[in-house]
Structure 1
């Protein structure tokens, strides 16, 4: 199997914790052809999508120690057609590069892309949870999104709770997430000026404050609509954000019955949208965000639970590719029968 990771630059990887590196290592252990590239390396020649890629050399035995594997990895530089891969794994960091998705539109019928490019288009920002309906809707906190300062001030004024969460629509990694309180409402317009911008450039989210947020959130990794692992992220004493990159720390967590109900309620839609590998951020049974572009947590969940989630993920990918190849093989065999009949 030939697998391409469309990701951030190799030199920016933190080998002790990086989730993408775990997937690359698992693929290399299996002897798969592993190729890395970045969105900036995509190109088109004569209407064919290519990328300037780094092909992992298979000259030495793959070390079972992942940081050692990272340090010893050697690559060959090539320009390769994107349609020649069996699978493309999207692991570029936010924000989403929509131009990169446009490059891949021409190969989407020939290559299994995870996550699906249309799924990424509709789910790459914090509006996606609002698309869940039916039973899933009860797991979504009350959320308001606007560029109107007057409206957002009215929302805060009329809120039944003393405080709300405010964050930029296109933020990531916990950037810009703050608590706003009615008692400090005189500062609210100034905050909106900053978040929205003078020319009303940016949308702002005002969200119901979920009780228990001060104790952190739960990151649940979903694969093909099912939970495969989780951890609790606890914020530092001086920050409301539980993101690891914002100073939070990870703690072992067993998925609760309510969280399982949440996963079941949204799992089918995730699969329909082609979002096979996602990270859910959950607080007190409420779905706060769906991370679809490069969900992390594999390394920390592995460590807390003595597991290897990357094995399950690559197993899934191999099964999908095998099923697609079987369909093509059957189609070709049927076409051959028809061609033979025509020749008689």
Structure 2
């Protein structure tokens, strides 16, 4: 089959940790043909529909034989290929990292048009638009800690006075970017709110601080609605409040707890029915904090530590959908 992956530049992939690389490696091992492009390369042309001039990837033998967590230099040979309609690929995988900005949204609209022309896109573009990663949890309050979404400074201050210990974060961040904890003493609360809300002009999220973060911010993966058996606990290091790997957190693969499985098994069928083949739930202390749908990660860390071939599970699900 022919797979097109829409992602950040492939030259930036880290073979020892990137989940997208793990997907490419597994697909190539099965004999599938691989192309990549960046979102800006998508275009709709009169009489042709949504097209792209992608780059064809040929993985090296070292890459094909590598294992999860292994760095592989010179992992690919690549060359620009002929312009093709997205509908001519067997599958299009949208794997562009956040931010979920206007350009990202425009790309999803082009992908939706490609769907109307016959393309099969994973995750579905409409579902990506409908599930911004911070805000999507609001649909499931039974699983979340107290949460306020607002840009109103007075409302944010009042919520802090009520909860006493809060995490404030931007709605379009990733990798722990822009996250602040404010304890009961309210130290620097005004400055933090001014910065994050840009003086009351940008909406942010406030969540009750969960002390169980010391045990890890758990990444629970759903593949076609089914939870992977192990989560990756991203444990803060060196006095940090952020467990994100990008912020220096330590990743430890652990079996799902009963509460994590409860959340995953409740959300899994709902999200899969909406066209979300791959989802990353973030859970702290049994509370759902984010629903990641753009480019969920942690394949390689879970595979290396728990012996669960997450990429194989994903490609299995993809192949089922393609018949």
Query: Within 1, Cα distance between the matches of 2:268 and 2:62?
Result: 38
- Structure 1 residues 20-39: aligned runs within 5 Å: 20-39=20-39
Q: Comparing 62-71 with 72-81, which one deviates more in the overlay?
A: 62-71
Residue number in structure 2 paired with 1:2: 2
- Is 1:210 paired with 2:210? yes
Instruction: Summarize the alignment of residues 119-268 of structure 1 with structure 2, pairs less than 5 Å apart.
Output: 119-132=127-140, 137-159=141-163, 162-184=164-186, 187-198=188-199, 200-228=200-228, 229-268=230-269
1:22 aligned counterpart, secondary structure: helix
Give the TM-score, by structure 2 length.
0.92
Alignment match, 1:335: none
Contact residue 60 and residue 74 of structure 2 kept, 8 A = no
Q: How far off is 1:59 after superposition?
A: 9.5
In 2: Cα distance, 1:51 partner to 1:107 partner:
11
Structure with greater helix share of residues: 1
Matches within 5 A, 1:231-310: 231-310=232-311
Q: Post-superposition shift, 1:60?
A: 7.2
Pair 1:210–1:58, CA change in 2 (3 A): closer
Q: CA RMSD in A?
A: 1.9
Q: How far is 1:69 from its partner?
A: 6.5
Unaligned runs of 5+ in 2: none
**Unaligned runs of at least 5 residues, structure 1:** 323-344
> In structure 2, the residue corresponding to 1:71 is in which secondary structure?
coil
Deviation at 1:272, TM superposition (A): 2.4
- Which whole-Å CA distance do the structure 2 matches of 1:170 and 1:68 have between them? 30
- Secondary structure at the aligned position of 1:184 is classed as coil
Cα distance in 2 between the residues matched to 1:90 and 1:282? 24
Determine the structure 1 residue equivalent to 2:79.
76
Quick one: distance in 1 between partners of 2:87 and 2:45?
13
SS at match of 1:171: coil
TM-score normalised by L of structure 1: 0.86
1:88-103 to structure 2, matched below 5 A, reads 88-96=92-100, 97-103=104-110
- 1:273: Cα distance to partner? 2.1
Between stretches 224-233 and 236-245, larger displacement belongs to 224-233
1:128-152 CA deviation, whole Å, 9 max, x = no partner? Answer: 01112xxxx3211111011110111
CA deviation string 1:14-50 (max 9, x = no partner): 1111110010011111111111111011122225111
Larger radius of gyration: 1
Asked if the contact 1:223/1:278 (under 8 Å) is kept, the reply is yes
Q: Deviations over 1:110-139 (max 9, x none)?
A: 22211111110011231101112xxxx321
How many angstroms apart in 1 are the aligned matches of 2:267 and 2:111? 27
Name the structure 1 match of 2:119: 111
